[in-house]
Amino acid sequence: MDAVLEKVHDNDLELKVSRQNADDRPSRAEAEAAVRTLIRWAGDNPSREGLLDTPKRVAKAYEEFFAGYGQDPAEILAKTFEDVNGYDDMVVMRGIQVQSHCEHHMVPISGLAHVAYMPKDRVVGISKLARITETYAKRLQTQETMTAQIADAIETYLKPKGVAVVIDATHACMGCRGVRHPDVYTITRQFRGVFKDTTVEQKFWTLVRG
């Protein structure tokens, strides 16, 4: 399966997983064989006791790490509620745990996401904001792309007055290799619609900071 940009509206593009090559997906046995090859390439023996079951464990772990490829954002955000007694202010979920993997080195990205939207005529269950974040996090990612994807999904399927997404995370590819700066945090943000207004944006930051 390949990640590609697909047109969802006249002027909107969204990164989606192409099903065109779904039949080409390797089997679990092939995935485990690839792990054994990597162990050998690293200089160890995949047949020794401590590594014997490692290929199975890695394949199982990858199913968890990259579960987002099998999740549909449209389905997650499909059920909404219109009876909110006139509620028309922002909905903010702060401190959503983000565990993703860098698409360049396949090592962890760890941090927090703050997600908000301003409802127009309907709201979604608050757990769905965490789920949509997790859907995109559990894929091979860059932080910039992930931030835009979460905003795109909320904007596309809820059609709110505005949406805000901020991700504050560390990258293991910065900490354990290369420049080796483990305590550097990367902040990415997307403000759409009414959140581009300075007053609304300031209110968002006030709520996020508690």
Average pLDDT (29-47) is 97
State the number of CA atoms in the 13 A half-sphere of 141 facing the CB.
32
158 and 174 part of one domain: yes
Asked if 182 and 111 sit in the same domain, the reply is: yes
* Domain end among 65, 91, 116: 65
Q: How far apart are CA 205 and CA 210, in angstroms?
A: 8
* pLDDT > 80? residue 1: no
Q: Which of 48, 65, 82 is the last residue of a domain?
A: 65
Same domain (yes/no): 37, 100: no
Same domain, 77 and 41: no
35, 109: one domain: no
Give me the CATH number covering residue 76.
Answer: 3.30.1130.10
- Binding residues for Zn(2+), by number, are 102, 105, 173
CA 168-172-174 angle, 5° bins? 90
Binding-site residues = 102, 105, 173
> Would you please indicate which residues are annotated as catalytic (active-site) residues?
102-105, 143, 171, 173
Of the candidates 38, 65, 92, which is a domain's last residue?
A: 65
Q: Give dist(CA 126, CA 49) in Å, integer.
A: 46
Neighbours of 83 (CB within 10 A): 8
Question: 87 and 148: one domain?
Answer: yes
Q: State whether 80 and 162 are in the same domain.
A: yes
Q: Provide the pLDDT for residue 123.
A: 93
Dihedrals phi, psi of 27, to nearest 5 degrees: -75, 165
Q: What percent of the chain has pLDDT over 70?
A: 89
How would residue 73 be classed by pLDDT, with cut points 50, 70 and 90? very high
Check whether 12 has a pLDDT greater than 70. no
Among 112, 123, 135, residue whose Cα is nearest residue 161: 123
Q: What is the pTM of this model?
A: 0.86
Q: How many domains does the chain divide into?
A: 2
List the Cα angle 43/49/50 in 5-degree steps. 65
Pairing of strands 140-141, 91-102: parallel
Assess whether 118 and 187 both reside in one domain: yes
**Same domain assignment for residues 198 and 105:** yes
What is the residue-wise DSSP string for 65-101?
HTGGGG--HHHHT--EE--STT--S-EEEEEEEEEEE
Over residues 120-126, the mean pLDDT reads 91
For residue 39, give the CATH number of its domain: 1.10.286.10
Q: Are residues 114 and 36 in the same domain?
A: no
Q: Which domain holds residue 11?
A: 2-65
- Are residues 198 and 122 part of one domain? yes
Same-domain check for residues 106 and 158: yes
On the CB side of 54, CA atoms within 13 Å amount to 16
